[in-house]
Each structure stands twice: as structure tokens, then as C-alpha cells.
Amino acid sequence: MTAIPLAWSDAQRLHDPAAEIWVGVRTPAVEVAARADAIRTALEQAGHPVVTATAAPEPALAAVHDRALLDFLAGAWEQWEQSGLPQDPGQDRVVPYFFPHPGLLGTLAPALPVATWARTGHFAFDTMTLIGPGTWEAALGAAGAALTAAELVLDGAPAAYACCRPPGHHVTRSAYGGCCYLNNGAIAAARLLEALGGPVALLDIDAHHGNGAQSIFYASADVVTGSVHVDPGAGWFPHFLGFAGEQGDGDGEGANRNVVLAPGSDDAPWAAAVQELVDWARGFAPRALVVALGVDAAAGDSESPLRASAAGYRAAGHALGSLGLPTVVVQEGGYDLAMIGALVRETLAGLSDGLAAAAARAGTRAIPSTASPARATGAAHTGVRGAHATEVRRG
């Protein structure tokens, strides 16, 4: 048996946000191509084969995103450049400045602005998710990696990993943000749903709430969505949602679950929260699983206040694998370049072990773990900043 295959697109390197604009201040970007390179290196060294991703077809994107959003993203940089904004006022990336707030519009539907610099605010919900030359191509590459991983699973692989960059789990059907442009996990889930029927489980273990999938599938039980994340009520992104009371609506009532963690939570509450989410999802008898994997809940990551270790991520992977389902893992956050590769490797090792144990219980075969055990019980602490300073705003 081979290790979990890694779906990869070189196009993801084309996105260079250069910076983020947070509370009006231009700060260096941390969602950089080196993240994906570090993951690929670690997984290749552990024996995971690389599969070149195919292009994402338009219908797969339209299955979860509005046409207006896709059209905007596809042409945003070209229109920005043609408007002369890189020269005057000298803004070298697409960034919004004006938003259609409900308090502004009242009962009126927002018009799509004519001005390029205003149109961006119609589709973006923050100021830090910048668009530049190559952003759209990279987003398409990431979506293609997610779809390729889904096809590998549909072709019989017990699991496949999509090295998606930029990440995607904050994107809703009609709006982008959180350093995300296309919702790769939702795109993969929709493809599995199309091929296998429902339900499909989409479980998000990024440090931040998976608000995009929650929004896209909130009124449907075909894709059940769950997220383990730091409590937005403690001052963390996405602030306005991600609370336990959000459980779905209409046909999807009861098919969404949020498990929130207090800042400072380490392996014990982290592993218990992931297990709670797994046990909840099992009750829906899903036919396939998509894991939105962010490794920014680790102790050494400056973008969240959680304290999970490499061993904690391995345990989380094992719990997810225990569902015994065809599984697509889609990369989300994780910004500690020294640890990101090892954390992903350990998660996939745990997933392999969990799948093998589930298959043994069922009397079938599964892929064995080929990744090395965790080298340490925890990642080195590198100075996690407080919520008021870090804002936990991405991935």
C-alpha cells in the first residue's frame, strides 16, 4: 500500500499578496508560498507521492459560489490595473475601502458599483485579503488540487491530501476574505456529494471558525458541517459568528456544529473537541469526509492562541480516520514555517492509523501509516501575541 497521495499545483505559487491591511496598517503577509513548499518537502520526505492537479472546471466552482463572485475574482486584478490604481494613488494590490453595510442600505438591495475601487467592497468582507497578479490563477490551482484529491478518493484511494494555497475555508457563496478566495473544501465536498450522494461530512479543524462552509451548506443536510476553533467570543476571527448556537436552518437544521475552545487550550481539550465533532458527524452516517486542515492551532503559531502539539495533531488525525470514510484532506491555515510540514505530516500519519484501525474492525484493507512519529510532544513557543494584537484574522 502507498502513502496518502498529495495533490499539487505549481500555480499556487503565483499568488503574492505582498501585505495585509489590518486596522488600516499595511503589514507583511504571512500567507506566503513558502507555506506550501514546506509542506510538500516534509510529505515527500515521508514518502507521500505527489500527483499533479488538473484544472478546476467552471461548473465545480459554480456549485458552491455565485457567478458574480467568480467573475469578479477572475477580472479583479486586470480591472484594477486598467483603472490606473497602481500608479494613482499607488496601491499595488486590489483592496476594498467601502462596504454595503446593512445599516447603510436599510431595506434596499446593494447596487454593484461602477467604480473598480468600490466594487471590491461588494465582494470582500475584510481589508486584508489582497488580490494581485496571479491571485486568480493560484486560487484556481488550489481548487484544482482539492478536486484532484476528491477524484483520487473516488477512484479508490482511501484518502488523499490537497496542498491548497491560498486557503479557502472563510469564503462564502458570495464573498471572500480571511486570506481566502475560493472555498476549496466546499468544492471538494460538492464533488463527493455529486458522485456518492449524501450526506458528506465537512469537518474543519483550523484554529479559526470554518464560516465559509457553514454559510454555504447552512440550509442543507446533504453536507453536514462542523468546526473546532478558538472562541470568537474571546475576540478572535471571524468575530460575528462561529458560536455553538449556530446549528443550521431549514432542511439543514441540526446539521451544523461548532465546538469552541478557550484561548490557551492545549492537547487535552483540543483532542476532546475533535473527538466530539467526530462522534457528532458519525451520527449522520456520512458517505465521505472532507477535512479542512489548518495547523495554526499549534503552540508555535503566532496566528492563534491555541496550544496543540504535533502529538495532538496526530491524535486528531486518528480520530478523523476512525470514521473509516473515503477522506479528502484540504489544507487551510498554518503559518509557523518551521513546524507546518511536520504538523501536516503527523496529522496524515494519524489519519492513516485511524483508517487502518477502522478497516481492521470492518475486516477490510486500508493504507498503513508511513509518516514518522511525532518528534516532540509540542511545538516550540515563538511568542504568540494577544488577541488585541494578533486579531487571529486569517486561514
Q: In this model, does residue 381 exceed pLDDT 70?
A: no
Question: Helix (H, G, I), strand (E, B), or coil: what is residue 242?
Answer: coil
Range of the domain at 220: 6-367
**Partner residues linked to 159 by β-bridges:** 327
Confidence of residue 382 (pLDDT cuts 50, 70, 90): very low
Nearest in space to 210 (alpha carbons), one of 191, 234, 186, 188? 186
Is 29 within the bounds of a domain?
yes
Is 319 within the bounds of a domain?
yes
Give me the CATH number covering residue 185: 3.40.800.20
Mean pLDDT of the residues in the chain? 92
Q: In this model, does residue 248 exceed pLDDT 90?
A: yes
What is the spatial distance between Cα 121 and Cα 96, in angstroms, rounded to a whole number?
Answer: 5
Is 237 within the bounds of a domain?
yes
Percentage of residues of the chain with pLDDT beyond 90 = 91
Enumerate the active-site residues: 170
pLDDT (tens digit per residue) in 161-195: 999 999 999 999 999 999 999 999 999 999 999 99
Is 281 within the bounds of a domain?
yes
Burial class (CB in 10 A: 0-12, 13-18, 19+), 132: buried
Model pLDDT, residue 274? 98
Is 394 within the bounds of a domain?
no
pLDDT (tens digit per residue) in 289-342: 999 999 999 999 999 999 999 999 999 999 999 999 999 999 999 999 999 999
Q: In this model, does residue 231 exceed pLDDT 70?
A: yes
233 phi and psi angles, rounded to 5 deg? -70, -10
Q: What are the b/e assignments for 187-197, b being 16+ CB within 10 Å? A: bbbbbbbeeee
CA angle at residue 198 from 166 to 193, to 5 degrees?
40
Is 253 within the bounds of a domain?
yes
- The tally of domains found in the chain comes to 1
Is 33 within the bounds of a domain?
yes
> Which residue's entry shows cell 492537547?
267
Is 395 within the bounds of a domain?
no
